Amino acid sequence: MSSIAFLFPGQGSQKVGMGKDLVETFPEAANIFATADQILGRSISDICFNGPTENLTVTSNAQPAIFVVSAAILSILQSRGIQASHVAGHSLGEITAYYAAGAIDFETALRIIDARGRGMAESVPAGLSGMAAVMGLDVDVITEILKPYTHCPVVIANYNCPGQIVVSGEKTALEQAVSDLKSAGGKVIPLPVSGAFHSPMMVKGAKVLGDFISPIEFRNAAVPIVLNRTAQPETRVDELKSNLPLQVVSPVRWIETVTYLKDTVGAVVEIGPGKVLTGLVKKIAPELPVQTINDSVSATEWLTSIVEH
């Protein structure tokens, strides 16, 4: 098997029912969910399996739920000796990548996710900021259109793939910027999120997260983590620790991340609910083989294919 990178999704990939078949099929997955329930003091399992959707969508539930599903799938692969040569995650998924690379343990990852979500939620009062996906415009055009709004701020938050850029910022300015982007021929879709993530408006959240992780002991990563903020591989403990608060206020450079992996590994595997990252990889680097593992069926099929080859 050629070298592979594991990719971990972020918020928005959640779906009621996720993880239930994994728990019913794989003891490793059942153990991960039981451990998460114990650490959190509430049943994230029940929220994943039964919802309702409005409960699962709340940031304080969605983020740990997505992490736990990804970690459950990861445990299945690792128990069979399957390891990645590189890891990366989109936004929230970067913390899953830290866990997968051994930089933090399972409980620490859950605690960090909780602190991160809390800090981001407290950064700006509800309803005063937002995010929107922009399709059909080049990055250079979007950048130029946003120049008058940078101080508001309205900025590029996610470089997801060619033709799909996410902008983030103060609500009133964002609405005006959206109007300008539409006038330039862009298709713009407001995102159902509670804040201007990956923008300067998350400064308070970054401080909350920085204060929280300050006493926590991190480790050097066992494999390189390709960071959202730099799109470069990192293993050094000090750099990894300082990156997490900075990541909250910095754009997700996913196009550059996948481009780096295209030149570095033979294939990538998306591990977690949904298949958002798989779709982005196909648009960024169609020549890069990509596999999605998001339930017991896809996990079993992929494991069988590895054995056969």
DSSP labels, 95-135: HHHHHHTTSS-HHHHHHHHHHHHHHHHHHS-TTSEEEEEEE
- 207 and 109, same structural domain? yes
Say whether both 80 and 217 belong to one domain.
Answer: yes
At 234 the pLDDT is: 98
Q: Tokens 């959190």, residue? A: 40
Together in a domain, 108 and 217: yes
Catalytic residue among 198, 199, 250, 296: 198
Q: Do residues 131 and 191 lie in contact, with contact meaning Cβ atoms separated by under 8 Å?
A: yes
Question: Is residue 160 in some structural domain?
Answer: yes
Q: Is 226 part of a structural domain of the chain? A: yes
Task: Give the per-residue pLDDT at 74.
Answer: 98
Among the candidates 160, 190, 220, a domain finishes at 190
Decide if 185 is inside a domain: yes
Q: Which of 190, 212, 236 delimits the end of a domain?
A: 190
Same domain, 25 and 55: yes
pLDDT in tens, the chain (309 residues): 579 999 999 998 999 999 999 999 999 999 999 999 999 999 999 999 999 999 998 888 999 999 999 999 999 999 999 999 999 999 999 999 999 999 999 999 999 999 998 898 889 888 899 999 999 999 999 999 999 999 999 999 999 999 999 999 999 999 999 999 999 999 999 997 878 999 999 999 999 999 999 999 999 999 999 999 999 999 999 999 999 999 999 999 999 999 999 999 999 999 999 999 999 999 999 999 999 999 999 999 999 988 665
The domain boundary, picked from 158, 190, 222, lies at 190
| Shared-domain flag, residues 83 and 219 | yes
Quick one: 52 and 157 in the same domain? no
**88/211 same-domain check:** yes
Domain assignment present for residue 250? The answer is yes
Q: Report pLDDT for 1.
A: 54
Mark whether 153 and 240 lie in a shared domain: no
Query: Which member of 13, 45, 91, 250 is catalytic?
Result: 91
Q: Per the domain annotation, does 195 fall within a domain? A: no
Q: Quote the pLDDT of residue 308.
A: 67
Q: How far apart are CA 259 and CA 285, in angstroms?
A: 7
Indicate the number of domains in the chain.
2
- Judge contact between 51 and 230, C-beta under 8 A: no
Same domain, 218 and 113: yes
CA distance 270 to 195: 26
Please indicate, yes or no, whether residues 34 and 89 belong to a single structural domain of this protein. Answer: yes
Whole-number pLDDT of residue 126? 81
Order of all β-strands in the sheet with 290-293: 233-234, 225-226, 86-89, 4-8, 267-271, 290-293
Helix (H, G, I), strand (E, B) or coil at 86: strand
Residues 30, 77 share a domain: yes
Does residue 119 fall inside a structural domain? yes
Q: Domain holding 151: CATH number?
A: 3.30.70.250
Domain of 268: which CATH number?
3.40.366.10
Query: Is this prediction's pTM over 0.85?
Result: yes
Could you confirm whether 91 is annotated as catalytic? yes
What domain range is 183 assigned to?
129-190
pLDDT at residue 7, rounded to an integer: 98
Q: Are residues 177 and 98 in the same domain?
A: no
